[in-house]
Structure 1
């Protein structure tokens, strides 16, 4: 009887030791793998340099509105954005994030206080790149309008990789591409368009490779003038120029609606001179939402909305 009890006790002790060892081994195996996934480091080459970035950053400061748009679509939380200049459809971030300062004047003190893991910027913050890089890894994610779709896809893919959303990013981008294909098939090649920005009673024009040139370069609407100056502010033009070029379609971005005293483009554009154009006579003056076109181009939602607006505007 004593021998039996001793044998049972020995078996029980061995079982406890085996379970404990198995538990420790499991922790040792799963621990490092889990930690590795959290702290993977990638090197990002961008327009302003090369930056080492850790994936799945917890605190992110975003200055580029197109990027904020994409992160919103992918369900990624951000710590801070500039509250001034937010597109209306992203206005919720004013109440859910810290204010990172102005689009051209970052609040360095606030950003230092936040101690972010990553800062994402574009053209308006280029001059502050070095200063921001001293605070945290900083990456330029502005869209290159001379190769819009390639640049747009690169940014979406990069964001998907950084935040562990590769599949979601690829799926959303594919959906945008599908809508673009449908638009290109619909766009009339025998009718030409002109893109203008209306601001303070004046107008400037944009052609291929410009910030709004996606209409010509990607959507397939031929330009009425392919020699327009390519610049951020466009080429200053007169209403007589519009009448002279006589576009079939006139695409209008109203800057005043988002950065002025309110929508005023219709009153500015539809004057006696422009009323003589084919675009006016045929009802083809298309007013584009400046929230997407002026504030946040290059985002998953903004580009898709831009496609839909042009698709609905052409006949």
Structure 2
């Protein structure tokens, strides 16, 4: 009798173990799933639901909008390459996001801390073509995907949409962009009601090429002013370009009713002493809105920053003040 009971118990245990072994306990869409996506290199298998993303592509803002789990970022200041931009400091602190370099760097390591990236044990690295020289080193650390863009700082919508495709979040991307466009249209209408068809130029005292200036068109603040707020470019604003480097004499070709002028300290500085500056229509009318280079570098090229900076630019016009 005892032998029969023992045999029965053994059989029950065997069947129970077999049932457990044959059951898939991995939930649908779990962290162990992978998906094959197309990036700038071709096809690559990446986690479908990554839990430890290191972003060195300049896409941290877009990833956070999509509620992705970023543990480290190279979204540092475009001005000094080291500090966390002001509009991101609270988010980085709250989420414990570490800094591992700068996404636009061009040094031998792409200005990335490869050792720190490895120590963080990411399950996914997102990079851009500017770091191509260290692609193999990054790929040896974790699955690595390269955003399909030349990082001209203009195709931010395309980069955002590609993230949505990779992580099955297209609807979330489209909703965010639609809300952004509604906000831009509302601000544009308010400005149009106030100034009509008056014209604009967007200028920057160039910190790299001293003594020269940028005149923006489709890049950064130019995109926000002309393409999002639908303001009219003045004579002298180039067409179909990101922007151009010009000297002060070029100012004589600009016939803008309003000027956005960016510099390191947010003032005209020595430019204000130039006769060609003093003779500009917008300067004579007092319609110059000053902004700080670091702020526009850090906010005018990525999704969260663009939304914030769009409002700052609009408010400068509506309140007839500086970009603050």
Partner of 1:120: 126
Alignment of 1:36-51 (within 5 A): 39-46=33-40, 49-51=42-44
Q: Distance in 1 between matches of 2:65 and 2:293?
A: 19
Work out whether residues 31 and 51 of structure 2, in 8 Å CA contact, stay in contact via their aligned partners in 1.
no
For residues 160-179 of structure 1, the C-alpha deviation after alignment (integer angstroms, 9 at most, x for no partner) is 45556555433322210111
Cα distance change on mapping 1:208 and 1:268 into 2, 3 Å: same
Find the partner of 2:88 among 81, 87, 90.
90
Work out whether residues 44 and 50 of structure 1, in 8 Å CA contact, stay in contact via their aligned partners in 2.
yes
TM-score normalized with structure 1 length:
0.71
1:304, distance to aligned residue in structure 2 (A): 1.1
1:141, distance to aligned residue in structure 2 (A): 6.3
Cα distance change on mapping 1:125 and 1:206 into 2, 3 Å: farther
Partner of 2:113: 107
Partner of 2:278: 275
Does the residue aligned with 1:209 lie in a helix, a strand or coil?
Answer: coil
Find the partner of 1:197 among 189, 195, 204.
204
Does the residue aligned with 1:57 lie in a helix, a strand or coil?
Answer: coil
Partner of 2:60: 68
Work out whether residues 284 and 313 of structure 1, in 8 Å CA contact, stay in contact via their aligned partners in 2.
no
Aligned residues: CA RMSD: 3.7
Find the partner of 1:221 among 212, 231, 234.
231
Find the partner of 1:153 among 134, 157, 163.
157
Find the partner of 2:185 among 135, 156, 181.
181
Gaps of 5+ in 2: 1-11, 77-81, 106-110, 319-324
Does the residue aligned with 1:246 lie in a helix, a strand or coil?
Answer: coil
TM-score normalized with structure 2 length:
0.69
Does the residue aligned with 1:106 lie in a helix, a strand or coil?
Answer: coil
1:107, distance to aligned residue in structure 2 (A): 1.5
Q: Distance in 1 between matches of 2:197 and 2:29?
A: 58
Does the residue aligned with 1:101 lie in a helix, a strand or coil?
Answer: coil
Work out whether residues 207 and 223 of structure 1, in 8 Å CA contact, stay in contact via their aligned partners in 2.
no
Cα distance change on mapping 1:206 and 1:199 into 2, 3 Å: closer
Gaps of 5+ in 1: 1-16, 257-262
1:277, distance to aligned residue in structure 2 (A): 1.7
Work out whether residues 181 and 228 of structure 2, in 8 Å CA contact, stay in contact via their aligned partners in 1.
no
Find the partner of 1:79 among 67, 71, 78.
71
Partner of 1:209: 218
Work out whether residues 63 and 120 of structure 1, in 8 Å CA contact, stay in contact via their aligned partners in 2.
yes
Q: Distance in 1 between matches of 2:184 and 2:219?
A: 18
Work out whether residues 61 and 302 of structure 2, in 8 Å CA contact, stay in contact via their aligned partners in 1.
yes
For residues 60-83 of structure 1, the C-alpha deviation after alignment (integer angstroms, 9 at most, x for no partner) is 112344x22223334433221245
Bigger RCO of structures 1 and 2 (CA < 8 A, at least 6 apart)? 1
Find the partner of 1:303 among 303, 306, 321.
306
Q: Distance in 1 between matches of 2:83 and 2:310?
A: 23
Does the residue aligned with 2:51 lie in a helix, a strand or coil?
Answer: coil
Aligned pairs, number: 280
Range moving further from structure 2, 109-118 or 196-205:
196-205
Q: Distance in 2 between matches of 1:277 and 1:172?
A: 39
Cα distance change on mapping 1:108 and 1:33 into 2, 3 Å: same
Cα distance change on mapping 1:191 and 1:35 into 2, 3 Å: closer
Q: Distance in 1 between matches of 2:150 and 2:296?
A: 13
Find the partner of 1:286 among 286, 289, 306.
289
Q: Distance in 2 between matches of 1:243 and 1:140?
A: 41
For residues 89-147 of structure 1, the C-alpha deviation after alignment (integer angstroms, 9 at most, x for no partner) is 1124379233313442112222222232222234643544454334331322668669x
- 1:247 and 2:253 are equivalent in the alignment: no
